[in-house]
Structure 1
Amino acid sequence: MPLPAPRPGLVIGYEFLYREDAAAGRENAARPHPCAIVLVVGDHPGERVSVVAISHSPPAASAAHDYMRLTAADARQMGLDSGDHWVNLRDINSFDWPGYDLKPIAPGRSYVFGRMGRTAFERLVAALRARRGLKVLDRR
């Protein structure tokens, strides 16, 4: 299956490594998650891509400020199922495209779920900018 060109707003299958897992010494994620590309730097080949994870798991009340809830319409446009979805604003993974952690969304299928709509992507960028000092987990 052909690899897509990495573009901000593209929602891909990726083995996202959370900071707690990295701190525990894990180098690989437990499973792939839908992830939104938030930044692409460089030219092909060798683009540097930064992603945030999208999850069904609601945040604890004490961590709600670390997440952005997606609307049902946002989720549909991104190719996600009809359940509730939250974007993790606390953790960012960065890697050289395509990277070994890029995963198809199902066996024999594409790597792409869909694309964030403009409004959802602008909300995401604004939320990330408001969180200055984020640490990016380098997955090279």
Structure 2
Amino acid sequence: MTKRSTPSSPQSRGNAPRKSGGGWPIPTPGDVLCYAYLWAREAAQGQEEGLKDRPVVVVLAATDTGNGVRLTVAPITHSAPDGAEGAVEVPLAVKRDLGLDRERSWIVVSEVNGFLWPGPDVRPLADGSPFYGAIPDWLFLRMREGIGVHAGRGRVRVTKRTE
């Protein structure tokens, strides 16, 4: 497995062949975005928007029958998971490379959000781009395996956001 040569950033992604709303390139799996994530428990209570902007990892980017690109994203949180299989810890070195804080964090693999890119819940950072960068391939594979384990058990909660 190889590590991405450079994390995605506004500068390194500037040559991306496709652009979308906001002039941002279309994210690819492994990219980390700033997004108002709607937790499944919040959606169950009738909320329509996430309460907090947070980093999320793009799990999947797929063309949605002429409507654009549909992203599936997994949240990054400071809250420790209930069980060892519920999340993948993000190493501090990766957090540093993304420009995130030094607190322990996890990528939740038991729930995801799906939305059409760019969507109203994508949040630009100080530089005007929603991209923090990208996680290394080995971490992306661990995250994907965790989601696969939960999906195989029918235990991934998917919250589809309406645009």
* 1:9 aligned partner, one-letter code: G
Structure 1 residues without counterparts, runs of 5 or longer: none
Partners of 1:105 and 1:64 in 2: how far apart?
31
What is the match of residue 17 of structure 1?
A: 38
1:110 aligns with 2:134: no
Matched residue, 2:99 = 79
Question: How far apart are 1:81 and its partner, in Å?
Answer: 2.2
Alignment partners' CA distance in 2, 1:30 and 1:76: 25
Residue of 130, 136, 139 corresponding to 2:158: 136
After TM superposition, give the deviation of residue 113 of structure 1 in Å: 0.8
Q: Deviations over 1:84-138 (max 9, x none)?
A: 11111121000011111100134x5321111011111111111111112223111
Q: Over the residues paired in the alignment, what is the CA RMSD in angstroms? A: 1.9
**TM-score normalised by L of structure 2:** 0.76
Distance between the aligned counterparts of 1:98 and 1:88, measured in 2? 21
Q: Distance in 2 between matches of 1:39 and 1:104?
A: 20
Q: Which moved more, 1:66-75 or 1:90-99?
A: 66-75
Give the superposition deviation at 1:68: 1.2
Runs of at least 5 residues in structure 2 that lack an aligned partner in the other structure:
1-21
CA distance in 2, matches of 1:123, 1:77: 18
Q: Does the 8 Å contact 2:35/2:54 carry over to 1?
A: yes
Does the alignment pair 1:40 with 2:66? no
Q: What amino acid is aligned across from residue 79 of structure 1 in structure 2?
A: G
Larger radius of gyration: 2
**Contact 1:36–1:52 (CA under 8 A) maintained in structure 2:** yes
Residue in 2 that maps onto 1:7: 28
Secondary structure of 1:125's aligned partner: helix
Higher mean C-alpha displacement, 77-86 vs 92-101: 77-86
Offset of residue 64 of structure 1: 4.0
Q: Which residue type is aligned with residue 121 of structure 1?
A: F
TM-score, scaled to structure 1? 0.88
**Other structure's SS at 1:4 match:** coil
The answer as to 2:112 corresponding to 1:96 is no
Q: How many pairs were matched up? A: 137
Between the aligned partners of 2:52 and 2:60, the Cα distance in structure 1 is 22
Task: State the match for 1:122 in structure 2.
Answer: 141
Percent of residue pairs identical? 32
Residue aligned with 1:124, SS:
helix
